[in-house]
Amino acid sequence: MISLSKVALIVGLMAAPLLGAAQSSVLVWQDEFEGTGLPDNTKWGYDVGGDGWGNNELQYYTGSDTNNARLHNGKLIIEAHKESYLGKDYTSARLVTRNKGDWKYGRVEVRAKVPAGTGTWPAVWMLPTDWEYGGWPASGEIDIMEYVGYDPNIVHQTVHTQAYNHLNGTEQTSSTTLATAEEEFHIYAIEWSEDKIDFFVDGVLRFTFENEGTWQKWPFDKRFHLLLNVAIGGNWGGVQGVDDSIFPVQMEVDYVRVYQAPGHFEITGETYIQPNAEQVEFSISNVIEGEFEWSVPADAEIVSGQGTNTISVNWGNTEGDVAVELTVNDETYNYSKSVQLLTVPVGEEYVMDHFDDQSIENISYSNNDLNSFAFSEENSELKVSYQIADPGLWPKFIVDFENPIDLSGHQSMQVRLKTYNNSGSVRMRVDLMDKQGRQTNANPVFEIEPVGDGEYHDYHYNFAGNWAAGAPNFGETVNRQMIQKAVVYLNYGFYGIDNASDSLWIDFIKMNSEPLAYGELNREMKITVSPNPATSYFTIPKTDQKVDRVRILDMTGRVVKETYYNTNRVTIGDLPQGVYMVLLFDENNILKYRTKLIKSNY
């Protein structure tokens, strides 16, 4: 039960106008730390470990250990000890609200008393929950209060971003002299809106960080969670060493309260879900004393949580809105979230686009003075014509699917196309792009150098293990459960041909649940011949596949030479100078290997 003094303080805060963006706010999250034992596990988790946390800290953070984190006399006690534990000389605790209390905008307020002593480094701070702009510092950090024991009576409030951080000495920070920080409780707070973050100490505005309009300077349009901890030593806290005579030391926290303006509330949960998905969770900021009334589409069912800020839903087969009506202080607010269905392929094959609907509205491209595309449908096939002056601009067109597609069970792509390739420029590449805009552009990629005989051929590529994203999302992985687009490059990049025009016809783009061997044109099929360029002959390395014949095509797709593979040496002195494609087939005329060859006269 909350103490009478705390009740009076809450009533006073709710009655008094809050500063800045919080003037119309309501209490959405709180912990008054009443009771005994461990902190409330519905509100707090722990970061556990002793790896130094990027700051060369000396402590081991424990989890669910009353020696380091407990409730006592209406306070949260975070206590650091001098003791050997799992290779560290100190223990402490780092409490987090991650996925238990996550907010975008609002007032976050903590009443706390910090420990004294050289080597201590207590903090009240916030980190991004989803790290959508990348690792630290790209996704941001908000330090509501930091204190280093070797520099007593000074509290620090700081913002870190990609552009502003302590690694390059550009962090945005403020320091406040507070003579009783170690002896008395003080209120540390931020008020955070889409325009700025205001920092307060005991209700006095100390520092304002404004939104400058780019994610590198302002990544604070995503949800963040709260952290409370006492570090020992480290790059900052340990500048003057650690005084071992001070232990144990405590940071005491009287309360944590979070207020938000109802106008900033958003329903969180999956935007795209599978038909008939079960136990799908939707949530909105909790409001103390608020009343919640949820609604879902007619063929969906709320299985739990009606009347609370979080519901669990068994979905149906239609798209629609999840909505909630919130009533608080005799005011009513309404919120909704549109939920769309994922396309989930059934069976071994799934045609992503067969171009037989007499519509090309789902195809986008950027024509300009140097490169242009034209599209038409002919006999349920897509005809693509292009004029490309500058391949260095990476000309492309994009096929946008009606709904995101879950390709977790279908990872082999099959493209059926034909071309005469009269220009020798029909070189194609297909990337898959997820709903977040990441595409499969990290090597290896699906490249097609099609046969130019005017006949349809199937080209295959196995995406299994090849979902890595390249620029600008290096190190990330494409979400194969939410594929939204196919990006098709033509006559592109370094090997593209200037001032070229040509056409090709695409019958379909299809995904298969299993990799297909026939006609598979992928990175593993390529061979390396030598010498290349060659003048009179080239040699072919031994292969793992049985090869029956060698076929050489010019860049129009015309067969200019064919010989049996009874030796690994092929003469080409009779061929004109130029670029050729070398194809190796087995006795069943199935293509096994390919490579590009340059014939030189020098």
Q: List active site positions.
A: 141, 146
Q: Would you state the structure tokens that stand for residue 351, as one six-digit string?
A: 């045609």
Please answer whether residues 388 and 469 qualify as being in contact, where contact means their C-beta atoms are separated by less than 8 angstroms.
no
d(CA 360, CA 509): 14
Measured CA to CA in angstroms, residue 103 lies from 170, 216, 288, 424, 508 at distances of: 26, 20, 15, 56, 45
Chain centroid, CA 523 distance in Å: 27
Distant-in-sequence, close-in-space partners of 258: CB < 8 Å, separation ≥ 6? 27, 28, 29, 30, 101, 103, 106, 107, 108, 109, 226
CB atoms within 10 A of CB 602: 5
Taking residue 576's Cβ as centre, other Cβ atoms within 10 Å add up to 10
Which H or E run contains 415? strand 412-418
Q: What amino acid occupies position 23?
A: Q
Tell which residue, 361, 364, 385, 382, has the closest CA to residue 373. Answer: 385
By DSSP bridging, strand 381-388 and strand 371-378 are: antiparallel
Q: Look up residue 389 and give its DSSP letter.
A: S
Does the CA dihedral 215-216-217-219 come out positive or negative? positive
Does residue 115 have a cis bond before it (omega within 30 degrees)?
Answer: no
Q: Cβ contacts of residue 363 below 8 Å, gap of 6+?
A: 375, 382, 397, 398, 399, 400
Q: Determine the 3-state secondary structure of 351 from DSSP.
A: strand
Element (H, E) at 265: none
Cα(545)–Cα(522) distance, integer angstroms: 15
558 CB contacts (<8 Å, ≥6 apart)?
Answer: 452, 453
Count of Cβ atoms closer than 10 Å to residue 104 Cβ: 18
For residue 129, give the amino acid letter: T
- Determine if the peptide bond prior to 137 is cis (ω within 30°): yes
Cβ distance 450 to 459 under 8 Å?
yes
Q: Which residues contact 135 (CB under 8 A, 6 or more apart)?
A: none
Choose among 317, 334, 23, 373: nearest CA to 15.
23
Secondary structure letter of residue 493 according to DSSP: S
Integer angstrom CA distances of residue 395 from 364, 405, 502? 12, 25, 13
